Amino acid sequence: MDHRSGDDLLERVVGELRELPPIDEAQITRIVAAAQAAGRDGDERDEPGVLRLEPTGRRWTGSRGLPLAWAAALVLAAGVGGYLVGDRRGEPTVASALAPTPPARGVVAVAAAENAPRLTQFMIEAPRAERVALVGDFNGWDASMTPLVRDPSSGLWTATVALAPGRHTYAFMVDSTITLDPRAPESRDPDLGTRSSVVLVGGR
Amino acid sequence: MRHLALALVLLLPAALSAQQLAAAPDVARQRARLQRELDPATFDFVSRIVDRTAQRGLPIEPLLNGAAEGLTHRAAPAKIRLKVERMAQRLELASRALVPASRGDLEAGVEALGAGVPVATLTTIRQLRPDASVAVELGVLAQLVRSGVPLEKASAKIAELMRAGSRPAQIVALGDSVRSDVQRGYPAIEVFDARARGVLAAGSGSGNVAADGQNVEVALPGFGTSTNSPPRNNAPTASPRAPRRP
């Protein structure tokens, strides 16, 4: 995603924030009442205000309605911030990693700090290349997503992206030719029969 | 209290809207690329598998990524179909073995299964860390196996490290060290044993492996990842392999 489309998305978000519907006092009353009722019905053994995730990952529950509502609001607000920061930087991997996507079946959210993306620098020497891009499982193998920047004096091309902890496969597109990282281990995909470079990104 | 509720009502629609905006472009863009670059039969095949996976509540991004990887590598359509089909099967297996699982866990599980790691090993690793992501452990295990370390030995040692309280950063450093040693010509099995003993001796502290003391760090593939420390022996100038000049 380039910066221009990032700006477009930002404007859409800002536009939607501006176009929020008028406040419905009755609706607010109903929501607060429902939240309080949920709190009364909750398991009293739970710690007050603790946000819990059910084992199936299908819904969020809490022992107190209102603190839960606030926790949810804060989490969602953090999601907005993460999205904006990631998108403004032109790094969709940051956005997707920071934004808490609703869990699907059997999928849970993990602690943000533990799964926080790590900045990872990629570099290749290609002094005669006119255009170099990074492609990998973190950017959909899309050569338009992560262009590398050339240092004219050294001929080195570099890019720094935020990656989630774990194993990632990638390659460089050097003037439309796929090129492996000469300094990284290679991995052969048993299904495609192709080779990629591998980077291991650490957690905390 | 009224202010709190008001804030919730104001934040909720905006946040939901932003979530959709953040997630949608990637999937839509990838689907559009697949439709544009795949032949119609392969695109239909991939779409059916992706839709079926979505209906099961599993993440579809790994499948779209797999197809896109095939396109970028200019793989034959038959291989792209095979890749997506097998990934969907592995995704289903990983979702059963890794409960609960984050999307990162599932993707790592798919990779590990693809490297030949059995489903039972995924379950064991999940049980050893039931409340945290195991993407790093599974990723390192997959990489070790692909590097030539025997599956049973790699699985047993990763489990031993997890039981000993080794941090994910230490396990990544182990994988990196083994990779670096193998590149220098040492046999994978021997260096793996030696490096794993080093991590165990270091315990869960910083020890002699990477200590990530900061929230954000810079990792340089090929030069030793996930460290803030000075370059090690495999720094660019000392690298035994000269960089390629494409």
ipTM above 0.90, yes or no: no
A194 neighbourhood in chain B, CB within 8 Å: 69-70, 73, 75
What is the pLDDT at residue A113? 61
Helix, coil or strand: residue A23: coil
Query: Which residues in chain B (168-227) have CB-CB distances under 8 A to chain A?
Result: 168-169, 171-173, 175-176, 179, 182-183, 210, 212, 215-223, 225-226
Q: What's the CA gap between A88 and A72, in Å, rounded?
A: 24
- What pLDDT is stored for residue B246 in this prediction? 39
Residue of B nearest to A191 (CA): B83
Q: What's the alpha-carbon Rg for chain A, to the nearest Å?
A: 22
Half-sphere exposure of B183 (CA within 13 A, CB side): 21
Would you state the pLDDT for residue A17? 46
Structure tokens at B180: 């670096």
For residue range A125-162, list pLDDT tens digits in order: 999 999 999 999 999 999 999 999 999 888 899 999 99
The pLDDT score that the predictor gives to residue A117 is 86
Q: According to the model, what pLDDT value does residue A177 have? A: 95
Q: Which amino acid is at A123?
A: M
Instruction: Give the closest residue to A36 by CA, choosing from A63, A58, A60.
Output: A63
Q: Which of A134-148, B10-24, B222-236 has the highest mean pLDDT?
A: A134-148
| Interface mutation target, options B12, B91, B225, chain A, most CBs of A under 10 Å | B225
pLDDT band of residue B190 (cuts 50, 70, 90) is confident
**B43 Cα to chain A: minimum distance (Å):** 16
Partner B contacted by A193 (CB < 8 A): yes
- The phi, psi pair for A125, rounded to 5°, reads -95, 120
pLDDT digits (tens, 9 = 90+) for A152-200: 888 899 999 999 999 999 999 999 999 999 988 888 998 999 999 999 9
Q: How much is the pLDDT for A12? A: 58
Residue given tokens 């099995």 in the structure block: B189
Instruction: Please give the backbone phi and psi of residue B83, each rounded to the nearest 5 degrees, phi first.
Output: -60, -50
Stated pTM of the model: 0.62
3-state secondary structure of B136: helix
Segment A16-56, tens digit of pLDDT: 444 444 444 455 455 445 544 443 333 333 332 222 222 32
Is some CB atom of chain B closer than 8 A to the CB atom of A134?
no
A114 part of contact set with chain B, CB < 8 Å? yes
3-state helix, strand, coil in chain A (%, to 5): 30, 25, 40
Residues B230-240, mean pLDDT to the nearest whole number = 31
pLDDT at B12: 44
Distance of CA A8 to the CA centre of its chain: 19
CB pairs < 8 Å spanning A and B: 313
The stretch B26-53 carries a mean pLDDT of: 95
A70-86 pLDDT per residue, tens: 444 443 333 332 222 22
**Whole-angstrom distance, CA of residue B65 vs CA of residue B58:** 14
- Which chain A residues have a beta carbon less than 8 Å from that of B71? 141
Phi-psi category of A119—alpha, beta or left, where left has phi over 0 and alpha has psi -120 to 50? beta
Q: Which residue of B has its CA nearest to A177?
A: B246
Q: Which residues of B touch A141 (CB under 8 A)?
A: 65, 68-69, 71-72
Distance (Å, whole) CA A86 – CA A185: 29
Give the DSSP H or E segment for A37: helix A25-41
A191 touches chain B (CB under 8 A): yes
CA angle A56, A61, A65 (to 5 degrees): 170
Cα–Cα distance measured from residue B72 to residue B81, given in angstroms and rounded to the nearest whole number: 14
